[in-house]
């Protein structure tokens, strides 16, 4: 009888310890998330606040996060200070073309690496992994010389082509495609489907979260790209939004930072809205793609 009581007491202690551990882990998780939100959110909040302030208030000796007298004049000044309608058009065109080309290349390459048998397939994948380790700045000069040799400087193809295929998208989709049951591919073959039909009718619908993730990450990268569009464009009517914002900076130090922050919001808001709408695809795609290595 005593042994039964001791055993019951030990079970209760074990359950209590597990509950305390679970609560502690949840609290630590919330604290970590709160810290991440602060690190990411404070700069964004400061940009939004600065866009509603005058230059005098921004340079006040006692800066405040909330503007004392909010003003929306900075947005109008920013829009009139540079041809932002043209910048938006250029950014939309280069982002859609660049992200579309990158997704198509990633989907087809990942399919070949998983479902098509050819010699040295694993070596090709290793080369892709090596490409992930090469910094973008290393290939700037070769890319520029190539595009200049093709006479594509200051053109949409010149902006898009060097980033039309990125190794990360292929890597992410390959990892996801490997989680697809082989029976689905075999069933498609039995029905007489070729590689293209299998890709479009079976693989892409099943891997929709990973494809959406790749598209979102690509759209964000293309939309925010600064260095390459700055180098490859020579006229203002071909500038993209990130490059166009630099036009508002005064070389003599008389920059109206409220106007610059308002223009910065022109770049931030579209991508932020897209991510808020499709963030679940990013989480699902990355988590599922990491199941198999």
Give average pLDDT by consecutive 10-residue segment, the chain, 293 residues: 50 69 85 86 86 84 79 87 90 94 93 88 86 85 93 94 87 88 85 87 87 89 92 92 84 76 88 79 56 44
Looking up residue 219, the CATH number of its domain turns out to be 1.10.3720.10
Same domain, 141 and 14: no
Same domain, 147 and 12: no
Token pair 């609560």: residue: 23
With the C-alpha atoms ordered 203, 204, 208, 210, is the resulting torsion angle positive or negative?
positive
Rg for the chain, CA atoms, rounded = 26
Same domain, 239 and 281: yes
Beta-carbon contacts of residue 90 (< 8 Å; ≥ 6 apart):
156, 237, 238, 239, 240, 241
Angle between helices 208-224 and 167-177 (to 10 degrees): 170
Enclosing domain of residue 285: 80-289
DSSP letter for 246, please.
G
Q: Which of 25, 86, 48 is nearest to 264 (CA)?
A: 48
Give 62-94 as a DSSP string: S--SS-SS---HHHHHHHHHTTHHHHHHHHHHH
**Residue 35 forms part of a structural domain:** yes
> What's the confidence (pLDDT) of residue 56?
83
How many Cβ atoms sit within 10 Å of the Cβ of residue 203? Answer: 24
Same domain, 49 and 87: no
* 3-state SS class at 20: helix
The model's pTM is 0.81
As for how many domains the chain has, the answer is 2
How many Cα atoms within 13 Å fall on the side-chain side of residue 149? 6
């Amino acid at each position: 009888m005593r042994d039964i009581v001791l055993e019951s007491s030990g079970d209760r202690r074990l359950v209590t310890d597990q509950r305390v551990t679970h609560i502690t882990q949840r609290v630590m998780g919330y604290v970590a998330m709160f810290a991440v939100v602060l690190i990411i959110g404070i700069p964004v909040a400061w940009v939004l606040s600065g866009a509603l302030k005058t230059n005098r208030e921004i340079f006040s000796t006692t800066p405040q996060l909330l503007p004392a007298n909010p003003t929306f004049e900075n947005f109008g000044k920013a829009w009139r200070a540079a041809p932002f309608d043209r910048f938006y058009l250029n950014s939309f065109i280069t982002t859609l073309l660049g992200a579309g080309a990158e997704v198509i290349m990633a989907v087809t390459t990942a399919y070949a690496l998983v479902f098509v048998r050819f010699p040295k397939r694993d070596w090709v994948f290793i080369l892709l992994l090596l490409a992930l380790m090469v910094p973008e700045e290393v290939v700037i000069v070769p890319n520029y010389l190539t595009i200049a040799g093709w006479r594509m400087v200051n053109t949409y193809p010149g902006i898009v082509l060097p980033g039309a295929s990125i190794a990360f998208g292929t890597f992410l989709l390959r990892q996801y495609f490997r989680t697809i049951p082989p029976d689905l591919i075999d069933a498609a073959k039995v029905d007489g489907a070729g590689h293209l039909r299998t890709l479009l009718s079976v693989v892409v619908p099943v891997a929709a979260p990973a494809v959406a993730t790749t598209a979102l990450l690509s759209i964000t990268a293309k939309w925010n790209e600064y260095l390459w569009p700055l180098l490859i464009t020579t006229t203002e009517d071909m500038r993209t939004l990130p490059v166009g914002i630099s036009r508002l900076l005064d070389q003599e130090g008389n920059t109206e930072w409220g106007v610059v922050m308002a223009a910065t919001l022109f770049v931030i808001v579209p991508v932020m809205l897209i991510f808020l709408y499709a963030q679940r695809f990013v989480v699902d795609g990355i988590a599922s793609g990491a199941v198999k290595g």
